[in-house]
Amino acid sequence: MTQDVIVVVGAGSIGQAIARRVGAGKHVLLASLREQEAAEAAKAFDNAGFKVSVAAVDIASRESVQALVKLASGLGNVTGLIQAAGVSPSQATPVTILKVDLYGTALVLELFGQVMARGGSGVVISSQSGHRLPALTPAQDQALATTPVEELLQLDFLQPEHVIDPLLAYQLSKRGNSLRVMAEAVKWGKRGARINTISPGIIITPLAKDELSGPRGVGYRRMIEGCPVGRAGTPDEVGQVAALLMGPDGAFITGSDFLMDGGVTSAWRFGELAKPAAAA
């Protein structure tokens, strides 16, 4: 009997938390930039009774993603995709952020969308940052959503002279992720599959800890203290939302973006974080 396959692109804390909830009885393929990272995550899955494989993937490379698609398809029916790979503003230059977070996500959606099985579903992990970017023009929104993947980074408003701040590159990428998912949902729907975005706030992961101790740490701590919930989130909380979106209870949800940030965006617009001091 052909097995169902769940592909986790970016096998970090959030990707693992989602896979634990949706991967029971399925083959979980964990993929990271370095295969050793995926292999370390796979030990916990194997010990917990999951059927698991590992792979290396560079989502900024078409050839690398194609190889991952081929591997996944060879394992069985691809019924789930978790795209949680990316870099943060403190980790990379604007050019690299756009290449990985924007282009890479669009590439993953395109290629896995071509093999996703009927009834399959996926989630893309975006960010609250996309919700704090000022409104783009309708033409820019359309371009981020529908420009062919290999032409995406050639868009005029994404050129280095216009995007000199890593945070802006990150916000543009995350806004682009949610728009891209809306457009891809139409294509995925023709295959009988669904795709959604989750935009988390500050979730305590190794990546978040880097940010909290980095140059933007003061702003991150202010967001945590000033949000209505008053704390950061956990990977398991993201996993619970993803399980809803990817499972039968979310069967009427596709092309949507779910903001789960403890109310940071609400406070940014209408609360304490709306004060001029909020410049992070």
Is 170 known to be catalytic?
yes
Strand partners of residue 30: 8, 54
User: What is the spatial distance between Cα 208 and Cα 227, in angstroms, rounded to a whole number?
Assistant: 17
Strand partners of residue 205: none
Token duo for residue 95: 């050019």
Token duo for residue 182: 């809306």
Is 275 known to be catalytic?
no
Which of 99, 103, 174, 220 is the catalytic position? Answer: 174
Residues 6+ apart with CB under 8 A from 53: 27, 28, 29, 30, 42, 71, 75
Residues 6+ apart with CB under 8 A from 270: none
Are 245 and 253 contacting, i.e. CB atoms less than 8 angstroms apart? yes
Residue with tokens 């009774």: 49
Token duo for residue 140: 């820019």
Q: Distances in Å between the alpha carbon of 52 and those of 23, 39, 111?
A: 9, 10, 21
Which of 170, 209, 220, 275 is the catalytic position? Answer: 170
Residues annotated catalytic, as ranges: 170, 174
